[in-house]
């Protein structure tokens, strides 16, 4: 039984940072296998995933359907590479399977499927994660379960009306067991976010959520924000994450078009070397 049940308490920040670095290594390994992938987003969200899976979330990798588990809902299906990396790190997937990411016949497509152990929803069509997460949070409350729901979604998805319907619904139905993790990485596909979405934090506050904004690549800030989101006060929680696409690999951070990365074998090796020199 590998149930993890993280109590409130002080976090082991060096251990969490080491987890994040490992996730980044794994993602580069996966993307280099196929030669391409949504690596920049994965590198950007790695710190958040490490904090969630190794400090905050209650789950049992040996029993993915454990009814009292906390749910992690990845709305941006194309961040699958990050999801598979953390699911392997958490014990849901075998590391040996990861290099099949995106290859023909693989169980690990470039966008998530919910038949993969630990994946709660099918991804791909953006704008649906928060609505599903609100439904899960409501059902868990009605069933009297202690579980919480953590829902990652993106700045691009803030341009979808369905996201705002769900935002209103969560406040109306007092989903204080719901934590939104909003990845504001500044890009949507091959360029900056086009429609004005700011001020994101003020908007969620205005919609009745307890909201904080953090540097999503600062482990101490992430852990603090997650601790603050544990309060059961009738209001849903939003954590606005300012992340840097490609974090830990300067060449990817500097890249203009980082949404989808396809480079040659030798270049993957160079990116891996950069990660080792920056230490993620
Ligand atoms: C409903 C829907 N519309 C369009 C797309 C195509 N699409 C895939 S990723 C993406 C970018 C969305 O922005 P964001 O989620 O912020 O992604 P990032 O570029 O930061 O990875 C788009 C438009 C989609 N997957 N689903
Ligand atoms: Mg984005």
Which tens digits make up the pLDDT trace of 113-135?
999 999 999 999 999 999 999 99
Atom of ligand 1 nearest to the CA of 185: 20
Atom of ligand 1 nearest to the CA of 190: 19
Q: Which CATH class is domain 12-278?
A: alpha beta
Give residue 94 CA to ligand 2 midpoint distance, Å. Answer: 29
What is the per-residue pLDDT for 1? 45
From first CA to last CA, the distance across the chain in angstroms is 31
- For the chain, how many residues are written? 280
Task: Grade residue 279 by pLDDT with cuts at 50, 70 and 90.
Answer: confident
Q: Report the half-sphere exposure of 20 (CA within 13 A, side-chain side).
A: 29
Residue 240 Cα distances to 35, 204, 255, angstroms = 31, 9, 23
> How does pLDDT run across 15-70, given as a tens digit for each residue?
999 999 999 999 999 999 999 999 999 999 999 999 999 999 999 999 999 999 99
Kindly list the distances between the CA atom of residue 202 and the CA atoms of 142, 176, 206, in Å, as whole numbers in the listed order.
Answer: 29, 18, 6
What's the per-residue H, E or C state across the chain? CCEEECCCCCCCHHHHHHHHHHHHHHHHHHHHHHCEECHHHHHHHHHHHHHHHHHHCEEECCCCCCCCCCEEEECCHHHHHHHHHHHHHHCCCCHHHHHHCCCCCCCCCCCCCCCCCCCCCCCCCCCCHHHHHHHHHHHHHHCCCCCCEEEEEECHHHHCHHHHHHHHHHHHCCCCCEEEEEEECCECCCCECCCCCCCHHHHHHHCCCEEEEEECCCHHHHHHHHHHCCCCCCCCEEEEEECCCCCCCHHHHHCCCCCCEECCHHHHHHHHHHHHHHCC
Point out the ligand nearest to the CA of residue 38. 1
Ligand 1 pocket check: which of 43, 77, 78, 183 to mutate, most ligand atoms within 8 Å of Cβ?
A: 78
Sequence spans of domains, the chain: 12-278
pLDDT score of 9: 66
pLDDT at 7: 59
With a 6 Å cutoff on the Cβ, whether 78 touches ligand 1 is yes
pLDDT score of 112: 96
pLDDT in tens, 180-201: 999 999 999 988 999 999 999 9
Q: What percent of the chain has pLDDT over 90?
A: 94
Nearest-CA neighbor of 18 among 89, 73, 98?
89
């Amino acid at each position: 039984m590998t149930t993890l049940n993280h109590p409130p308490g002080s976090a082991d920040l060096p251990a969490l940072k080491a987890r994040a670095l490992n996730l980044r290594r794994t993602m580069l390994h996966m993307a280099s296998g196929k030669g391409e992938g949504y690596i920049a987003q994965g590198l950007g969200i790695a710190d958040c995933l490490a904090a969630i899976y190794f400090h905050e979330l209650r789950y049992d990798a040996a029993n993915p359907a454990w009814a009292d588990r906390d749910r992690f809902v990845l709305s941006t299906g194309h961040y699958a590479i990050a999801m598979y990396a953390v699911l392997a790190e958490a014990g849901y997937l075998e590391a040996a399977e990861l290099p099949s990411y995106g290859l023909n016949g693989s169980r690990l497509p470039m966008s998530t499927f919910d038949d993969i152990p630990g994946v709660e929803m099918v991804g791909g069509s953006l704008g649906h994660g928060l609505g599903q997460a609100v439904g899960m949070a409501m059902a868990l409350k009605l069933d009297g379960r202690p579980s919480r729901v953590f829902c990652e979604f993106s700045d691009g998805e803030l341009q979808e009306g369905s996201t705002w319907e769900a935002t209103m619904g969560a406040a109306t139905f007092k989903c204080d067991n719901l934590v939104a993790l909003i990845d504001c990485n500044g890009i949507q596909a091959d360029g900056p976010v086009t429609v004005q979405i700011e001020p994101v934090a003020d908007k969620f506050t205005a919609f009745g959520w307890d909201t904080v904004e953090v540097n999503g690549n600062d482990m101490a800030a992430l852990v603090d924000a997650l601790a603050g989101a544990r309060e059961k006060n009738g209001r849903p929680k939003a954590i606005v994450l300012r992340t840097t696409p490609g974090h830990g690999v300067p060449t990817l951070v500097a890249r203009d078009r980082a949404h989808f990365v396809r480079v040659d074998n030798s270049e993957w090796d160079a990116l891996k070397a950069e990660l080792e020199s920056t230490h993620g």
